[in-house]
Amino acid sequence: MNWRGSMGGKLPYLLLIPAFALIVAISLAPSTYSIYLSFTKYNININRHPVWFGLGQYIYMFTQDGFAYQTFAVTLEWVAIVIGLNYSFGLGIAKLLNQQGLKGKTFFRVGFMASFAAPITGVWPIWARILTPSGGLLNTYLEQLGLMDYRHPITWLNTYPLLSVAIIGLWSGFAFGAIVLLAQLQSIPREEYESARLDAAGRWSTFRNIEWPHLMPLNVVLWMLGIISALNTFNIIYVITGGGPGFASTTLYLYAFRNLTSGDYAYTAAISVVLFLMELVVAAFYIKYVWLRKA
């Protein structure tokens, strides 16, 4: 008996069952249960089982919880700082490495990508030494340049917590963007640069009229991935500031974690759903952009 013939066109679908079951078990089922919890009251320190609460958690979040508004604003600020720093620095590095005749490009690529391998827990002590208010390397340099009075040192993690954390994360965050932007720049036909040179175009004109249009499709991908990654940032903020001082660097992700550690699973789930919807909006913009390009 030909088992292939007996299975007919069902075999491809049957082969997908193990992978689909794994996705359901690991992703879909927990996500569905989390959405359900967001419509309940469930604090393990108060009640042993979820109690249906409808939209109560969301109403409380958007009308009564002042900390939720603060963390939402901090999240937007964090996303803007991270995307701005990582993209600008990555593009600048890519432009430098794209210069003709520059030697050691492979070395720099490997060096940049190696920053992904170092965990923040291992790098943080070095940055703590740099950002120390009294005697820290950064404040020392600012003092030598006449930009800071040693009697009034800048307490970076207290005064500029989000910016400080973003700068610390920059050493690894810009690397991926720099590498892919460099690859895109190197794929631009040299004839276009020659035409610009013959037309006596300057560097800014060449970048605006030749390089930027080629980079734009990739930019959208980098920005969308960067936004989603920034919304899900946890480890670097938690290790360095713990969300402080106060709620100054507490994003929605960290706020959800704070509620989780206090046992309020339902409110944690509601915050997670809001984060998911924010990421869904970003994904929708990206899908719309792709469709418009194909149209």
CATH of the domain at 276: 1.10.3720.10
29 in a structural domain: no
At 1, is the pLDDT very low, low, confident or very high (cuts 50, 70, 90)?
very low
The number of distinct structural domains making up the chain is: 1
114 in a structural domain: yes
Give the Cβ contact number of residue 39 at 10 Å: 19
Mean pLDDT of the chain: 84
Stated as kind and residue range, the H or E segment containing 41 is strand 40-41
22 in a structural domain: no
The amino acid that residue 5 corresponds to is: G
Q: What is the mean predicted confidence (pLDDT) over 80-89?
A: 92
Q: What is the mean predicted confidence (pLDDT) over 255-271?
A: 93
Q: What is the CA radius of gyration of the chain?
A: 25
Q: State which residues form the domain around 149.
A: 64-294
55 in a structural domain: no
Q: Where are the alpha helices (DSSP H) in the chain?
A: 3-7, 11-23, 29-37, 56-63, 66-97, 105-114, 120-131, 137-144, 156-159, 161-186, 190-198, 203-206, 212-231, 235-240, 252-261, 265-294
49 in a structural domain: no
d(CA 123, CA 239): 11
- pLDDT value of residue 9: 66
- Say if residue 254's pLDDT is above 90: yes
211 in a structural domain: yes
- Over residues 132-191, the pLDDT tens digits come to 888 888 888 888 888 888 788 888 888 888 988 988 888 777 888 888 898 898 888 888
Percent of the chain exceeding pLDDT 70 equals 91
19 in a structural domain: no
- Over residues 97-116, the pLDDT tens digits come to 887 766 766 777 677 666 66
78 in a structural domain: yes
Six-digit token string for 79:
């996303």
- Say if residue 251's pLDDT is above 60: yes
- Residue, of 37 and 97, whose pLDDT is higher: 37
- pLDDT value of residue 36: 93
Task: Name the nearest CA neighbour of 56 among 43, 74, 30, 38.
Answer: 38
- Say if residue 293's pLDDT is above 80: no
- Say if residue 275's pLDDT is above 70: yes
d(CA 38, CA 144): 54
- pLDDT value of residue 73: 93
Q: What is the mean predicted confidence (pLDDT) over 221-238?
A: 89
At 13, is the pLDDT very low, low, confident or very high (cuts 50, 70, 90)?
confident
